Structure 1
C-alpha cells in the first residue's frame, strides 16, 4: 500500500466523522428532552389551573390539546434520533487491522495494477460515504 498516509487519514476521518455525528445526535436528543420537560411542566400548570377553576374549561382544553400535539411531535423526533443514535456504529476502526486484512486476503495475490486499482476503489468508496454523511448532517 503505497499511499499509507492517505489510507490512515481516510480511516481516521471516518472515525472522527462517526464521533462527531453521534455527538450531534446526542446534543439534539438533549435539546428535545429539555423541550419535552418544558411541555410537561406547562401541562402540569394547566392542570393545576383547571383544578382551581382559573380559566374557562374551553380555553384550558384548547391549550392542553396544543401542548399534547407539541409533545407528540417532540416524542416522534426523539424516537427517530434515538434510533439513529442506537444504529450508529461507535467502534473505532483501526487502520492497521484493515491494512493487515487487505494485505493478507486480497492484496498479496494481486498484480501491481490491480493493487493500485483496489486501493483507489476503496478510497473512493470511503470518500463517497463521508460526503453522504456530511450532506445528511447538514440537511
Structure 2
C-alpha cells in the first residue's frame, strides 16, 4: 500500500453518500468518482454538484480537491488502494428485499481488475450480506 498521503481511492456511486465521501477524501487523497450517468460525471469534472447539498457545492466551488469523475470503473479501480462502494440498493418493502445487484457488479469488477484493493461497502445492505459474499 502507498504512503498515507499517496493513497488512491475510488468511489463507486455519486449520490449523497458517495459524493460526500469522495469530496471529503479528495482534500487529502487522489479520488476517482465513478458513475454510470454521463451528465453527473461531466458536472463533477466541471466542479458543479449534480445533487443539491450546500456543503458539497461549496467544497467543489472553493476547495482544492484531487477529484476526478469517470464512467470507466475499470480504470478507476485498477490502481486504487481502497474502493468505497456507494451504489444504490433499492428496497422493496412488499418483498422485504434489497436489490444488491449494483453492489455486486462493482465487487466483481474490482476483483477482476484489482483483487488487492480494500473494498468498503457504504451502500445499505441486509444484515449478513457481506458474510454471504465471503
Normalising by the smaller structure, the TM-score range is: under 0.3
TM-score (norm 1): 0.19
Q: Which of the two has greater helix per residue?
A: 1
Higher relative contact order (CA 8 A, sep 6+): 1
Q: Which of the two has greater strand per residue?
A: 2
TM-score (norm 2): 0.20
